[in-house]
Structure 1
Amino acid sequence: MCYDLAFASTIESVYQYLPDLKDMGPFDFHFEPTFHKVGQAYPKWPVVVNTNGAVKLMKFEWGVIANYMKTPEEIKKGRKWMVNARSEKVLDTKAYWSRIRRTRCLVPATGFFEHREIPGWKNKVPYYIHLKNREIFFIAGLYTYSHLPNPETGELPGTFTLLTRDANDLMSRIHNGGDNAGRMPLILPVEYEKEWLNPTLSDEGIQRILNYSLPSDEMEYWTVNSVRKAKPDDEGVIEKVEYAGLPAL
């Protein structure tokens, strides 16, 4: 799955990639660049949504709070599983994700992290992955507003999840272990970004986009130090690190 993201750019760059953004100028929206955030910490993250025909940049919490979570205790127990959503479940009427398939969002990122299992090695090897020809890319997401207000502000926070799909060839070799091996974020091509936000998109259109798989040759990757250890949030997080004896992919 995808639990680790980077957005190491300025928020103004999102407006450069998505000129349809309205109503909220880049200097009215503050978000500090980050080289690593983990989903289960439920950080606030910029997301792009279409509300009443206007494409807007909002700041939502990563990790959906579903309406069946009635108490803070239920949220604490269940929210950790709501950071990612399998794309195969979006149109499954038995799945929660089908209920919110009409509230779709784009999640901007400059890169993400995944871990590779090496036979005989004690620890998995972390990789940083990004796109070769785009500083920023967008991951398909779903969002909903929490039904429980923020105790400090009284507002109902927006919450979102990232969609994942079967991995392409490259990612299947990197993300090769664990219960969710062989998954990758559903990174969208330019021609699908605006369409994903279209509120009138049919289920057939949703399925067509869910079927998209980013080609391996559009991705660049290298090994880094562990992102599971506390460290400064700076370029050192994505710095290339050589692992002696690491087998080739």
Structure 2
Amino acid sequence: MCYDLSFFSNIKLVSDYLNTKEPPFQFEPTYHKVAQSFSKWPVVVNDGKELSIELFEWGVIADYMNTAEKIKEYRTSMANARSEKLLDDKRSVWHKLRNQRCLVPTTGFFEHKDTGGKKKTPYFIKTTDGPVFFIAGLYNYSPLPNPETGEVIGTFTVITREANPLMASIHNGGPNSHRMPMLLSKEHLFKWLDPNLTDEGIRNILSFEFPDSRMEAWPVNTIRTRKADDASVIQRIDNTLF
């Protein structure tokens, strides 16, 4: 799955890359955010007229979560959406949201490898395409406005798919092993945000396996303890290479 992201670049790189207007907000670089913190994150959406970069919270609040109690009970499981659910499970909330697509920019993500010890070893993974890359996502606006401000909160989830060989070797244990975030090549980005994309077009994009020859990964210190949000988070701890 994908529960740990980083974005330690300039948000302007996203607008430059996609040729969109600059976002009307500042986003402080971060080397690690965990999904269950429901942190605000920049996402790219298409409102039918133009692309824009918005600050949404990680972890979809679906329409059926129409009370604070339901949000608390169900939201922690909504950080990831299996790609297979979008089209092949018509009862799934992800099928209902398949036309509410977004891009999730990142500079890297983390996954844990079972090396046979007491604790799994975290790895930092990135692409070699450039400083910023994109993960396919889905979004939804919370049916429950903020009780203090009346704001309708935008929320998103990261889509995952079957892992490529590199990611299968890292994400090798646990009930959701051999999964990876749905990384997109540049050719897919505008297609994914096209409001006229058909189910067949969605399936074609989701069938894309990002090549591990365009990825690199290295082991890092634990990311499950509180630490400074700086470059030490992604510092290589040995010379293990792929």
**Aligned residue in 2 for 1:103:** 100
Give unpaired runs (5+ residues) of structure 2. Answer: none
Q: 2:25 aligns with which of 24, 29, 35?
A: 29
Matched, 1:238 2:227: no
Deviations 1:139-191 (A, max 9, x none): 00000100001122101100000000000000000000011000000000000
**Aligned residue in 1 for 2:211:** 215
Share of identical aligned residues, percent?
A: 54
Paired residue type of 1:180: N
Counting only pairs closer than 5 Å after superposition, residues 185-196 of structure 1 correspond to structure 2 as 185-196=181-192
**Aligned residue in 1 for 2:114:** 117
Find the residue that maps to 1:67 and give its secondary structure.
coil
**Aligned residue in 2 for 1:165:** 161
Paired with 2:148 and 2:14, the residues of 1 have a C-alpha distance of: 29
Paired with 2:154 and 2:34, the residues of 1 have a C-alpha distance of: 18
Matched, 1:18 2:15: no
RMSD across aligned positions (CA) = 1.3
Paired with 1:84 and 1:172, the residues of 2 have a C-alpha distance of: 17
- Normalization by structure 1: what TM-score? 0.94
Tell me the CA shift for residue 70 of structure 1.
2.6
Tell me the CA shift for residue 218 of structure 1.
0.5
Deviations 1:64-112 (A, max 9, x none): 0011113212111110110000000011212110111111000000000
CA contact (8 A) 1:49 1:57 kept: yes
Paired residue type of 2:163: A
Paired residue type of 1:18: L
**Aligned residue in 1 for 2:3:** 3
Paired with 1:183 and 1:134, the residues of 2 have a C-alpha distance of: 23
4+ long deviations beyond 3 Å: none
Deviations 1:106-129 (A, max 9, x none): 00000000000012x000000000
Find the residue that maps to 1:122 and give its secondary structure.
coil
Deviations 1:7-36 (A, max 9, x none): 0101111112111x14xx34x321001000
Paired with 1:52 and 1:214, the residues of 2 have a C-alpha distance of: 28
CA contact (8 A) 1:11 1:29 kept: no
Find the residue that maps to 2:95 and give its secondary structure.
helix
How many residue pairs were aligned?
241
Matched, 1:200 2:188: no
**Aligned residue in 2 for 1:152:** 148
- Normalization by structure 2: what TM-score? 0.97
